[in-house]
Structure 1
């Protein structure tokens, strides 16, 4: 069969791009370092298990994380990297039973988290019809990166993450432009803007570029964020009550989990309304 007649590769299953803690060896509770802050109650060096981690890889204070000062844990999503490393890269061999693999496993997890983040955004890009003229490039990147996630540990550690992020970022930028081009009088370009605590109640942000914008504690009640590019935007503590995020692009669950909202907040159908929203 010639290349031009080969069927397009299927994007990763959405379920594989969300954390499944039951199939992971609690890598996020061990591999990264924590600094005592508003998000974490303690200092924890990289590679050392959180003192709240039990022998069965479950969190001993899971139901009280927020009250105990670990809000960072409640909003973290490895995007499926944890179970990929635990069950596929290492075939179900955990770092406690085989301590000789521990440091390598933690290093692989850090790389895999980046790769799964790229897969998450590319999978969404492939579903955006206004960007179909670049879907060929999106599919090629998806195939390449998905293949890299299935390599042996040593191969994963050799991945040029920075290069892949640059290449993928450029393709996603073009996807964003194509999607937002159809928005009349679209919002300002605020990529990377410092909007911490900004008063944006009922602001018209349709089609705005809010990539990597700092929206910590911002008042976005009733704001119109339809088709806004929200990739990497920091919504910690942002007030999204009554906001409309319909059709916003590159918004992930962790961003919603970090914000405040209510029953009137409109969110993309692929995401879930956080349990703490009232």
Structure 2
């Protein structure tokens, strides 16, 4: 009698997990939301950023402004379905936002960064606030890291500018922080050129009577990658402070030496 062997079942064999193919973005031909993403050598984080961008709104377009990248960032963006605006040279801080805004078709322009993965549910409030029609400039309510003995100079600059604009309710909210969104009306009113200098764009929006509101808070301080300093100088801090000084200068030119505040009847010419 021939005995049949019972096949042994190996339980220690590892299952082969095949990576899921990521669905490419679909850019709607008539978008309501334009998601603008400047990118400089962000190949590593860009796929996750685009994944979340594609979940923000069913009628959206995603624009990647790939400037100065040498790591294949434009190719990654194209492969994943984004509209790509490419420049071989770095355009400089915030200039990519202006370029993307000028190419955007949507009613709401949502600005994010390629090095920071923010979930779609955290991005939707900014687009929705604009699409609902009550807000022209939807700001991130993030005011800087709390509980610090000495506040960061950029945080101080944001508070000072908002106080000068008679909008202390905004606290440290600013167009320097993403995410934020603009309405088509806001873009047409302040012009795309001021987007190069976000504090100047914020000042222009307030002075032109647009509805500016902090609609949602995303703790971007925890997500923002640390930048290397050249020597002892923090070049980015220096740049952002200069942007705020430019905004204050613009405010003085438009509203007078005291930025629109009353001198309370001082007779300065009588004092010797």
Q: Where on the TM-score scale, by shorter chain, does this alignment land: which range?
A: under 0.3
Higher percent of residues as strand: 2
**Structure with the greater alpha carbon radius of gyration:** 2
Structure with more relative contact order (C-alpha pairs < 8 Å, separation 6 or more)? 2
